[in-house]
Structure 1
Amino acid sequence: MVKETKYYECLGVDPSATEAQLKTAYKKGALKFHPDKNKNNPEAAEKFKELSHAYEILSDSQKRAIYDQYGEEGLEGGGAGGGMNAEDLFSQFFGGGGAFGGMFGGGMRDTGPKKARTIHHVHKVNLEDIYRGKVSKLALQKSVICSGCEGRGGKEGAVKECTGCNGSGMKTMMRQMGPMIQRFQTVCPDCNGEGEIIRDKDRCKKCNGKKTVVERKVLHVHVDKGVRDGHKIEFRGEGDQMPGVMPGDVVFEIEQKPHPRFQRKNDDLFYQAEIDLLTALAGGTIHIEHLDDRWLTVNIAPGEVIVPDAIKVIHGQGMPSFRHHDFGNLYIKFDVKFPEKDQLQNLDLLEKDFELEDIDTTENSQARAHGAAGAMDEDDDDVPPGAERVQCASQ
């Protein structure tokens, strides 16, 4: 059987390394890859967890012996996965946050009291409300410390620590499987994983010994003008409560709903306008309903030919900039609708316009020809009634 050495390689030591060498290797690696020093590097955070896990196994003589003989398979069932997390191990190893906090300035994550879980919610908001800003009233269910027993679970002095698991709620069990010893963790059967023993008659009637009760809470969520998709609004201390830990937080993440008329990109708005061929060629006016119920008038000047997919920009009519006082732009993209065969009345009007222009041109050319003829006949003083002489100006 080939001896497994992955944990040794993770720490960068030889399988024959002493306990002191393991400590030195872990200290060096943990300080290098700690998340507080590498806040924008998820790979470093993962490496930190791997280092901590490897050291936890190899620093325990019993776990190390099982790993050396049977590899990770021998540790399955709890020997490897049921230990402390990486931050707890780091804190225990370095004796608190002083050394690390002083080195990197930010301190460790677990230097203070632990917190209850954070409650995450997605708050879907339409584009009109983001444009104008609004306050949403959102209700949530959270756990709060029972007021009947003040979080004890029963009468004062009636709650005892479970002796079967020493208050951890978990028991470590050993099982012989042929030549292999398997070590695993299981929920303590004496306290059902609670870590405490409360006699039924002493349990709190309000929470039934659970120490917390569920409460409905209404929060006023301020959606600021121009807030962007994915923005998070935090309510610190408004999350779940648990005895002995700080209350958790509530985080609302803004999700912008799709809009039927506008598309948004950062602070700019995009609008698709459909116009007919007559308006595209001869000009006209279109009206756009904005997000605050205003109507914008967009003029297409005569002679300003609009081709399909042409874009007009209206400055300052986009989205309000988040926490600033300016606005983005509104981009209007035109879709020119050509008439069907049975819808040619507008095209007939265009043809009549062009015919009138052709007639005017013909009459003018005839007048110019007639006048030129009169100018060439210098001896003819008889000018036909209604005709005008045309003189050529010298250049």
Structure 2
Amino acid sequence: MGFDYYNVLKLNRNATEDDMKKAYKRLAMKWHPDKNPVNKKEAEAKFKLISEAYDVLSDPNKRQIYDLYGEEGLKSFDQAPPPNTNVGASFKFNPRDADDIFSEFFGSGGSDGVGKGYFRNNNHNSYGAEVNRKAAPVESKLLCTLEELYKGTRRKMRISRSVPDDFGKPKTIEEILKIDIKPGWKKGTKITFPEKGNQEPGTIPADLIFVVDEKPHPVFKRDGNDLVVNQKMSLLEALTGKTIELTTLDGRYLTVPVSDIVKPGHEVLISDEGMPVSKEPNKRGNLRIKFDITFPSRLTAEQKSDLKKALSDN
């Protein structure tokens, strides 16, 4: 059984010339190999069949014989002309080049740069010398809280992007992307979704890249894999001691007793209470507590005398 050219072009047998042109334009743009870099072989086969169907049905002589004898009869036609037709006795079927048909229909440059000698460049079997241009990647910030980067989470991002329809005109489609944020990811980490960006006719879609950025935290500041917290302390507390209470990024209650005298620039370091190390899941940075010692604005004579007594060398 031969091919049903009407079915190939999604037409009925009463289709007009205008119907055929519209069908060919839509299908040729959809299945041209330049627009289908992922499934090249399938696209090439469909594109050649679409071109062949249009070549036959758009030619009155070929269409008459095809309607009578089908595809196999058309290609092996060596009979006398069918009655009530105007087909010449010397008719012989010569298939036209798919690339020539496309160029004739859309112009020598194709449509929006699609199809410049695709088949002709490589004996009709595979891609020619033309290589599709890929659109520049599109980057977008992904703002994350310090809690999200500490514990990890899944974010769902709704995106809108522009792609060409079957006629090469831009249309907007929406999609939801899932991003698994790993514990310990740092500012500047990139998550790439290949070919999920905008696409222009004749190009490979752009990659969509999300770049991690950190939202400021009211208590903690990140320094590499360490967490830093600034703690205010009075001069009295610096000399006599204080218990610091903190809520960690994963909601735990942390009590840190400070009994040593706190001097300017002093830090308390608590190991394994910092950020997770993304490449070493069981390892964490440190928690560093820095102190801001508040001095009194004035002292009474009695307070000064008491301090002298308390701090003088005996």
* Aligned counterparts of 1:344 and 1:143: Cα–Cα separation in 2: 77
Residues 161-190 of structure 1 deviation map (CA, whole Å, 9 limit, x = unaligned)? xxxxxxxxxxxxxxxxxxxxxxxxxxxxxx
**Cα distance, 1:111–1:243 mapped onto 2, change above 3 Å:** closer
Q: Which residue of 2 aligns with 1:297?
A: 255
Residues 53-87 of structure 1 deviation map (CA, whole Å, 9 limit, x = unaligned)? xxxxxxxxxxxxxxxxxxxxxxxxxxxxxxxxxxx
Q: CA deviation at 1:235?
A: 0.5
Q: Which residue of 2 aligns with 1:128?
A: 147
Counterpart code for 1:317: E
1:319 is matched with which residue: 275, 292, 299?
A: 275
Q: Aligned pairs, how many?
A: 183
Q: Which residue of 1 aligns with 2:209?
A: 251
Q: CA deviation at 1:246?
A: 2.7
* Structure 1: tracts of 5 or more residues without a match: 1-109, 154-209, 356-360, 362-395
RMSD: 3.2
1:145 maps onto 2:164 in alignment:
yes
* Aligned counterparts of 2:198 and 2:205: Cα–Cα separation in 1: 6
Q: Which residue of 1 aligns with 2:191?
A: 233
* Aligned counterparts of 2:153 and 2:185: Cα–Cα separation in 1: 11
Q: Which residue of 2 aligns with 1:337?
A: 294
Q: CA deviation at 1:340?
A: 3.7
Q: Secondary structure at the match of 1:227?
A: coil
Higher alpha-carbon Rg: 1
Q: CA deviation at 1:265?
A: 1.6
Q: Which residue of 2 aligns with 1:285?
A: 243
Counterpart code for 1:116: A
Residues 20-54 of structure 1 deviation map (CA, whole Å, 9 limit, x = unaligned)? xxxxxxxxxxxxxxxxxxxxxxxxxxxxxxxxxxx
Residues 348-388 of structure 1 deviation map (CA, whole Å, 9 limit, x = unaligned)? 9x86x959xxxxx9xxxxxxxxxxxxxxxxxxxxxxxxxxx
Counterpart code for 1:230: G
- Say if 1:117 and 1:240, in contact at 8 Å, map to a contact too: no
Q: CA deviation at 1:116?
A: 3.4
* Aligned counterparts of 1:252 and 1:287: Cα–Cα separation in 2: 36
* Aligned counterparts of 2:262 and 2:292: Cα–Cα separation in 1: 9
* Aligned counterparts of 1:119 and 1:219: Cα–Cα separation in 2: 15
Counterpart code for 1:248: A
* Aligned counterparts of 2:289 and 2:234: Cα–Cα separation in 1: 15
Q: Which residue of 1 aligns with 2:174?
A: 216
Q: Secondary structure at the match of 2:147?
A: helix
1:265 is matched with which residue: 223, 227, 231?
A: 223
Q: CA deviation at 1:329?
A: 0.7
Within 5 Å, give how 1:156-175 maps onto structure 2. Answer: none
Q: CA deviation at 1:343?
A: 9.8
Q: Which residue of 2 aligns with 1:276?
A: 234
- Say if 1:225 and 1:323, in contact at 8 Å, map to a contact too: no
Deviation beyond 4 Å, 4+ runs, structure 1: 342-345
Q: CA deviation at 1:241?
A: 3.2
Q: CA deviation at 1:236?
A: 0.9
* Aligned counterparts of 2:137 and 2:173: Cα–Cα separation in 1: 16
* Aligned counterparts of 1:141 and 1:344: Cα–Cα separation in 2: 72
- Say if 1:234 and 1:249, in contact at 8 Å, map to a contact too: yes
**Cα distance, 1:306–1:111 mapped onto 2, change above 3 Å:** farther
* Aligned counterparts of 1:143 and 1:247: Cα–Cα separation in 2: 9
Q: Secondary structure at the match of 2:277?
A: coil
Counterpart code for 1:318: G
Q: Secondary structure at the match of 2:161?
A: strand
Counterpart code for 1:268: D
Q: TM-score, normalised by structure 1?
A: 0.41
Counterpart code for 1:234: T
Q: Secondary structure at the match of 1:312?
A: strand
Counterpart code for 1:143: S
Q: TM-score, normalised by structure 2?
A: 0.51
**Cα distance, 1:232–1:336 mapped onto 2, change above 3 Å:** same
Counterpart code for 1:257: K
* Aligned counterparts of 2:209 and 2:251: Cα–Cα separation in 1: 31
Q: Secondary structure at the match of 1:228?
A: coil
